[in-house]
Structure 1
Amino acid sequence: MEILAKLWQLITKRGKVDNGVKTIPIYFVFFFVLNYTMGTGFLGIPFSFYHAGIITALSTNLVVGFLSYVGAIWLIESMARAQALDTWQKERQTNSSKTNSKLLLPKFEIRLERKFEPSELCNIFLGVYGKYLFVALLIVHVILICWLGATVAGSALSSNISYDFGSLKRCQDSEFHHEMIPDDGCKDSYRFSIFLYALVVLPLCFLELQEQKYIQILLGFTRLLAISCLVTYCFIKVVGSDDYPSNYDVRCNSTNITIEYDVIGDSKCDPNEVLGDYDYWHEISRFGLKGWLTAIPVFVYAQVMHASISKLTHPMKQKQYLKYFLMCVFATSTTVYSCIGVMVALWFKRDTEETCTLNFVYIAHNASSNALRAMAYFLLYFPALDVVSSYPLAVLVMKDNLYMAITGRDALTGTTPDEDPRLKKRQQALRLVLSLFVAVLPLVGSLFVANLVDITRYAGLVGFAKCFFFPAILQLKSQYDCNKVFFEAVKQEELEATKPVDVSINDETVPLISNKTEEFPQVLYLQWNNPTYTTPYQTIFSHPIMVVVLSLFSIVAFGLAIASLPLDVDEDD
């Protein structure tokens, strides 16, 4: 009991106010970022793993996770350089009237009282057109993310709840396959489910991060529980079960399953399928070209969180640990995706659903164990709970970037106490309108398009620009700008360190010459650990040459993802 009391005290501990900003503990921030990153992304991972081949999909997932982490590091480095330029500009204005010949050295840091949204970074380093392009892509991507979330919630609720009034009927999962919107009574049930989902999620979209922390940590634990159930069940079946590792009996031999619940009955029943010992190595080493191409945007979509870094990590006081914090986030998400993809694909094989939790429909209605049925029902309803956490976070990120693009001010630190109260009210009204616009538009779209696969593919393509291209361009341009601005200051500092120093030896003044050369390199941009732009967050992949190499690799992956758009993965892939 004492341990539980201490845990509750830790969770309910109020954030401190530092420099006018209310901070929250780092573990709350971890749940914020993880909830935003994972969202609905992991639900389609097993389907991609099976059709691409497990070894191929596992390798691709690891590469995408690594590139996503590097892109996030580039972004926070650009934030630190923007802060250095902002500080340099203010100090230069302050010291302009003073006779001080010493140039100002760069101070690369991310401060608690100043937040640089990606749209502002684009405006600083890429100009106004770069900002507009980024904001346009961000609007499209966030709307697709929220649209997908609403669609997942609507399909999950309408497939598992019997509405006993009017023309509403329970939907079959097959009614959402390859259809823009289901027909007849299922369509009405689906739209009614979207309405119920909107009643829950819309109020959350108007809360700031600090006001959502208890909800987010609760939903984060719920997500971890669902993932644990998925992986544990499939692992036990693969390792310890003598049954055939698929839904063969459900597809072909079941006598008690009804059409109402037979959402996987459209799978082909192969009369030559042999029960007994199963060659797992064949399943692991198999390669499906179409499945691999279509899996790339799915993996990218599951890792895109870069536009949210500034917003979600802003209340975190320990900014010096941001690099390692992001490493933990991407290591966690990549490991979770790998475990889910491998285990679920190995057990359900060709019957792996596009939304992996739907593989538990038959178990929920026919399992003999009450505990197993309860777990299956929890997994079936989980997608509706899952998107409740990611939807308001995506709306907050989009609202702040739009507000920055329109007003040129940070949504949190853009006002001062001496400003006109009427101006503050107008700014609050603008933020309210932006939140309402971003929150409602995807809900409206989900009423007319409910195809999960197509939405995920296009969201993954747009995610390439946010996840790889813009961070790389910002990294190179911020390095170039800082090198240009701080070159003379660093040069002066180096030359002062190499000047002869007179020392006294036996009452005689002797010039002591430094062993450093007085010549300062004129071309400093490609120097390793360049002091004009090196930040505390740098890695080996921060060097301009490494940025270019990884960007070329990302361009190739983007081309493969575009090539996958007209492809349709089927069971014969």
Structure 2
Amino acid sequence: MPAPVGLHPGEQYSRATGLIYVFNLIVGTGCLTLPAAFAAAGWSLSAAGILLLALVSYMTTTWVVESMACANAINHWRRMKQLKKRGQVADELVNRTLENAEADQRATDTSEDQEDHEEDSPLITEGVIERTVGEYYAIQEQIEMGQMAALFYPKVWDKVFYVVLCIYLYGDLAIYEAAVAKSLRDSMCNYVPENCTETLLDDDKCFKDSDIKRIDIYRLCMAGFIGIMGPFVFFNLTKTKYMQILTTFTRWLAMGIMIAWAIVKLAQDQGKGHPPTADVTKLPQLFGVCVYSFMCHHSLPALITPVSEKKSILKLLAADYLLILMFYYLLAFTGIFTFAHLEDLYTLNFQPDRCKTGSETSIIVYCLQVFLLMFPVFTLSTNFPIIAITLRNNLKSLCLRENRRYSFFTSRCLFPLLAIIPPTLVGLATSDVEILVGITGAYAGSFIQYIVPATLVYYARKMTLQHIGMGVKNPFSAPLQHSAWIVVICLWAALCQVFVTLYLIEEYK
């Protein structure tokens, strides 16, 4: 994923700024699908479920941070080995540890294998003074998850990581397109059924004096969106700092309005929501949405590396997760007790009331309703090219070989088209944002959030133990070090995928 927008290479920022970046990344538009999932699964089951998912997500986040430190340590170790061979290392400490490691290696290896084992001998043995900690495990070099996969994973498995990441990004783009097209359609359609409280379906009319269906307008809006934003994917585009500030301001203004609006309705005893206490059959739906709502792992290297002081970064990330959890509770609980029916995209619950005429709604309220209805259009339109370009670059890394020349069509046209066309076809096939979020979060999202961190940290610990040794402890080590936790998380990921698969089968029936 791209580095924080507006940040130049090598530039650093404070811990507070870094946590704001993480907060904004996690609390994206995916949280707009939370209230509907909460209402379906029940308020108590949802509260417990999202708490458990937040804890598991934080656990795997700490594993990503530990893997980042291990990757920095391995790269530093390799550079020091190269400098040692060239006779350019004057540091007495490093020379002594290298000599001790080589002496130990010669004592246990045969002379014919000595050269091969020299590369694998631990650089740091027990008893080395503590100042080497900062030299080897300091997170100074930005190493993306794909690079860590290539560094730590056995061959072929790093390709598997790229495939899953691309699938996840495809799902992201399909969600973006569906959310934007749905918001544009609902802002244009003016047909009101005889029973104005009746839920409109895709096959209903869009306009009063026309037989054009809502699904047709939805697809036209999606085609228009792709026609406008798609060409940017063919170029190297990054958001400006001011665009990000505007997007962030718009997002939090919309979130604040929705929460305040719901609280006012509840205070005036106008709440119409009566969610069940628990509905176990809807648990897979909740899991899919919540898994997506805590996703930040793929962007952690770009967000954490520039932080100037990382000493307490794991504790600060824990505080970030706690704040995000509280925000999700506030958004979801105010929504489920305010509205009798919750749309799969929460902003659609604030669209102008079809049962009231224009004269019955004040101008201020109407403007707020239109703003909330168009909120996904504002925010997702700026993010769409960035995600699509990220997907394009990952597809190139997966399919093209380095140091080989390709035709203009292959290098400049093919991969942007491959990034745009598949999610557009998915978006044209269904307008159900909640299903798209569930599928993306439960399958590709859970793999990146659970399986990848667990396997990365396993191989990272193994490699650093082999090359650097046990003498220096990683200051960014995750709280949970036992290998059994890695197995537990992998089983948890498999269970989540089974639940969501069963839910999708039932929905299809």
* TM-score, length basis structure 2: 0.76
| Match 2:351 to one of 337, 349, 361 | 361
Cα contact 2:237–2:385 (8 A) shared by 1: no
Flag the 1:555–1:449 CA change in 2: closer, same or farther, 3 A: closer
Letter in 2 for 1:101: E
CA distances 1:159-183 after superposition (whole Å, capped 9, x unpaired) = 21259xxxxxxxx9733499xxxx9
* Helix, strand or coil at the partner of 2:385: helix
Unmatched runs of 5 consecutive residues or more in structure 2: 88-94, 102-122, 125-132, 191-197, 205-210
Contact kept in structure 1, 2:451 and 2:489, CA below 8 Å = no
Q: Give the C-alpha shift of residue 144 in structure 1.
A: 0.8
Q: Encode CA deviations 1:119-152: one digit per residue, 9 max, x unaligned.
A: 2222222223211111111111110111111011
Residue 563 of structure 1 aligns with which residue?
502
Secondary structure at the counterpart of residue 474 of structure 1: helix
Letter aligned with residue 55 of structure 2:
F
Matched, 1:384 2:377: yes
1:450 paired residue number: 431
The match for 2:391 among 388, 391, 398 is: 398
**Given the superposition, is the C-alpha separation of residues 223 and 468 from structure 1 closer, same or farther in structure 2, using an over 3 Å criterion?**
same
- Bigger drift between 102-111 and 301-310 goes to 102-111
**Cα contact 2:26–2:296 (8 A) shared by 1:** yes
Whether 1:334 and 2:325 are equivalent positions in the alignment is yes
Residue number among 38, 43, 55 corresponding to 1:49 in the alignment: 38
Match of 1:348 in 2: 339
Query: Structure 1 residues 70 and 42, CA, compared in 2 at 3 Å: closer, same or farther?
Result: same
2:191 maps to 1:191: no
Query: Which residue of structure 2 aligns with residue 464 of structure 1?
Result: 446
Q: Which amino acid aligns with 2:184?
A: L
Write 1 or 2 for the structure with the bigger share of helix. 2
Please state whether the residue corresponding to 1:377 is helix, strand or coil. Answer: helix
Secondary structure class of the residue paired with 2:223: helix
* Distance (Å, rounded) in 1 between the aligned partners of 2:305 and 2:414: 23
1:404-455 deviations in Å (ceiling 9; x for gaps): 545788xxxxxxxxxx9x98x999x948864564245423542343332332
Q: Distance in 1 between matches of 2:392 and 2:15?
A: 23
Displacement of 1:478 after TM fit? 1.0
Which residue matches 1:142? Answer: 169
Match of 1:484 in 2: 466
The higher relative CO (CA closer than 8 Å, separation ≥ 6) is in 2
Aligned residue type for 1:459: T
Q: CA RMSD in A?
A: 3.7
Q: What residue identity is the alignment partner of 1:192?
A: L
- Name the structure 2 match of 1:287: 278
**In terms of mean alpha carbon deviation, does 292-301 or 359-368 score higher?**
359-368
Indicate how the Cα distance of structure 1 residues 97 and 313 shifts in structure 2: closer, same or farther if over 3 A, else same: closer
Aligned to 1:297: 288
Counterpart secondary structure, 1:566: helix
Moved more, 538-547 or 134-143: 538-547
More displaced stretch, 354-363 vs 60-69: 354-363
In 1, the alpha carbon distance for the partners of 2:180 and 2:431 equals: 10
Cα distance change of structure 1 residues 445 and 219 upon mapping to structure 2, 3 Å threshold: same
Per-residue deviation, 1:342: 0.7
Secondary structure of 1:175's counterpart equals: coil
Partner of 1:217: 245
Structure 2 residue matching 1:96: 3-state secondary structure: helix
Q: Indicate if the aligned counterparts of 2:292 and 2:441 stay in contact, CA closer than 8 A.
A: yes
| Cα distance, 1:50 vs structure 2 | 0.9
Query: 1 CA distance for matches of 2:226 and 2:450?
Result: 32
Task: Render the CA deviation track for 1:196-242: whole Å, top value 9, x for unaligned.
Answer: 32355446655555x4322122111211111111111111222x223
Distance 2:8 2:174 in 1: 35
Query: Identity of aligned pairs, percent?
Result: 20
Does residue 1:373 correspond to 2:366, yes or no? yes
- Secondary structure at the aligned position of 2:240 is classed as helix
* Cα displacement (A) at 1:93: 2.2
- 1:262 aligned residue: none
Which residue identity does 2:79 align to in structure 1? K
Alpha-carbon contact 2:150-2:158 (below 8 Å) kept: yes
Q: 1:246 aligns with which of 256, 267, 272?
A: 272
The structure-2 alpha-carbon separation of the partners of 1:32 and 1:150, relative to structure 1 and needing over 3 Å to count, comes to: farther
The one-letter amino acid paired with 1:225 is L
Q: Which residue identity is paired with 2:179?
A: V
Counterpart Cα distance in 2 of 1:470 and 1:464: 9
Mapped to 2, the partners of 1:289 and 1:296 lie a distance apart of 11
Aligned AA for 2:292?
A: Y
1:441-480 per-residue CA deviation (whole Å, 9 max, x = no partner) reads 4235423433323322210122111101110111112112
The number of residues matched between the two structures is 448
Are the equivalent residues in 1 in contact too, given 2:352–2:366 (CA < 8 A)?
no
**Alpha carbons of structure 1 residues 398 and 374: separation in structure 2 relative to 1, 3 Å:** same
Does residue 1:108 correspond to 2:137, yes or no? Answer: yes
Do the aligned residues in 1 keep the contact of 2:180 with 2:380 (CA within 8 Å)?
A: yes
1:541 aligns with one of 457, 468, 480:
480
Q: Tell me, in whole angstroms, the C-alpha distance in 1 between the residues paired with 2:8 and 2:158.
A: 33
How far apart are residue 344 of structure 1 and its match? Answer: 0.4
Change over 3 Å in CA distance of 1:14–1:48 after alignment to 2: closer
Task: Describe the shift of the 1:466–1:35 C-alpha distance in structure 2 as closer, same or farther (beyond 3 A).
Answer: same
| More deviation, 197-206/294-303 | 197-206
C-alpha distance in 1 between matches for 2:272 and 2:303: 40
> Partner letter of residue 385 of structure 2?
P
Query: What is the distance in 1 between the residues matched to 2:26 and 2:180?
Result: 17
Please state how far the C-alpha of 1:321 moved relative to its aligned partner.
5.8
Equivalent position of 2:265 in the other structure: 237
